[in-house]
């Protein structure tokens, strides 16, 4: 029987601890704060990042060094794995899909199957966590990929960023660049559409944006019996705890539930005090 490794990265809002618990290899992205370069979640925790980000003059991110990725692939092969399912965030937002395609074409790695989620953050991470669960239940690679493809269009993610300064500066909302001055005064509801971040609805004030986020997540779940969900924040424990309390019924009905603090590579673009949730419908 083939032994399957599952490989992800920190743009999926997965911590190294989650990786150890679910037997997933997590490749850390690179985060640069001014002149200091860190490996996401290895040299720089979310807690420290959010404490220091606003004082940094420059915040940058980069894909992991090729050698780090090759070392990860060699590691799983040495551990006895004979194939790997590599799950990546949207190629419109990250460069991991392209990097793995190059390595795969060179042919000097463990056999790779690449699955691009068209999402980012925990919306992408839920595909990885679900794949690991299926693998741990004994399903084959082909069955896992088929199931991921089945639920691919049943993933929804929504978030509110308390400032759009970081996401626009990082080039993730380029089409709204000309509106930067007015957008900085609102808390729009954001989602991913065709692999890109887009505005669903504009709201003013934290209370209204919170209520819109909560009701939108509830709408995604209403009428479904089987789903996985996750909530996330960025140094925003107060609102995150409130959202958990307000969505307690939905959380209790989920097949699996996760809560995360955005990893630094995501925080570079989301900024502090972001809040959001993702739902993967399985039925």
**Better-predicted residue by pLDDT, 165 or 222:** 222
Task: Report pLDDT for 171.
Answer: 53
Pair 114, 221 in one domain:
no
- Rounded CA gap, 108 and 212, in Å? 49
Burial 160-189 (b: 16+ CB within 10 A, else e): bbbbbebbbebebbeebeeeeeebeebbbb
Pair 11, 146 in one domain:
yes
Task: Report pLDDT for 169.
Answer: 63
Pair 242, 206 in one domain:
yes
- Rounded CA gap, 47 and 26, in Å? 19
Pair 146, 198 in one domain:
no
User: What percent of the chain is modeled with pLDDT above 70?
Assistant: 93
Which of these three, 125, 152, 179, is where a domain ends?
152
Position of tokens 């691919």? 152
For CA atoms 202, 208, 209, 214, the dihedral sign is: negative
Pair 160, 191 in one domain:
yes
Task: Report pLDDT for 140.
Answer: 97
What pLDDT band is residue 203 in, cutting at 50, 70 and 90? Answer: confident
For 44, the domain range is 4-152
Crossing angle (nearest 10°) for helices 122-136 and 141-151: 140
What pLDDT band is residue 184 in, cutting at 50, 70 and 90? Answer: low
Judge contact between 170 and 268, C-beta under 8 A: yes
How many C-beta atoms lie closer than 10 Å to residue 97's C-beta? 18
Number of independent structural domains in the chain: 2
The 10s digit of each residue's pLDDT in 13-51 is 999 999 999 999 999 999 999 999 999 999 999 999 999
Judge contact between 166 and 270, C-beta under 8 A: yes
Pair 130, 237 in one domain:
no
Which of these three, 121, 152, 183, is where a domain ends?
152
Pair 137, 164 in one domain:
no
Task: Report pLDDT for 197.
Answer: 84
Predicted TM-score (pTM) of this structure: 0.93
Average pLDDT over the chain, rounded to an integer: 92
Pair 89, 160 in one domain:
no
Judge contact between 49 and 60, C-beta under 8 A: no
Task: Report pLDDT for 177.
Answer: 47
Token pair of 104 as six digits: 């795969």
Residue 260's closest CA among 85, 8, 6, 10? 10
Residue 262's closest CA among 86, 64, 124? 124
Pair 132, 187 in one domain:
no
What CATH code is carried by the domain that includes residue 37?
3.40.50.10170
Mean pLDDT computed over 64-70:
97
Pair 139, 251 in one domain:
no
Which of these three, 152, 184, 210, is where a domain ends?
152
Pair 175, 106 in one domain:
no
């Amino acid at each position: 029987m083939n032994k399957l490794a599952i490989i992800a990265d920190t743009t999926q809002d997965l911590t190294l601890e989650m990786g150890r618990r679910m037997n997933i290899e997590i490749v850390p992205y690179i985060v640069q704060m001014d002149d200091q370069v860190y490996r996401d979640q290895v040299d720089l925790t979310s807690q420290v990042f959010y404490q220091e980000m606003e004082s940094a003059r420059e915040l940058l991110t980069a894909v992991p060094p090729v050698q780090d990725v090759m070392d990860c692939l060699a590691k799983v092969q040495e551990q006895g794995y004979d194939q790997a399912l590599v799950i990546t965030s949207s190629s419109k937002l990250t460069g991991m899909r392209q990097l793995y395609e190059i390595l795969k074409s060179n042919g000097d790695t463990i056999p790779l199957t690449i699955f691009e989620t068209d999402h980012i953050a925990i919306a992408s991470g839920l595909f990885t966590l679900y794949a690991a669960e299926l693998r741990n239940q004994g399903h084959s690679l082909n069955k896992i990929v088929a199931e991921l493809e089945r639920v691919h269009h049943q993933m929804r993610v929504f978030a509110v960023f308390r400032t759009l300064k970081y996401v626009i500066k990082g080039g993730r909302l380029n089409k709204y660049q000309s509106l930067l001055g007015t957008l900085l005064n609102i808390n729009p509801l954001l989602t991913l559409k065709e692999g890109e971040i887009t505005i669903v609805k504009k709201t003013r004030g934290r209370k209204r944006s919170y209520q819109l986020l909560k009701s939108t997540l509830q709408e995604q779940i209403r009428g479904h019996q089987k789903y996985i969900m996750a909530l996330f924040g960025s140094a925003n424990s107060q609102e995150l705890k409130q959202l958990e309390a307000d969505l307690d019924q939905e959380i209790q009905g989920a097949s699996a539930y996760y809560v995360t603090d955005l990893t630094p590579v995501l925080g570079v673009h989301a900024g502090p005090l972001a809040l959001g949730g993702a739902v993967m419908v399985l039925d």
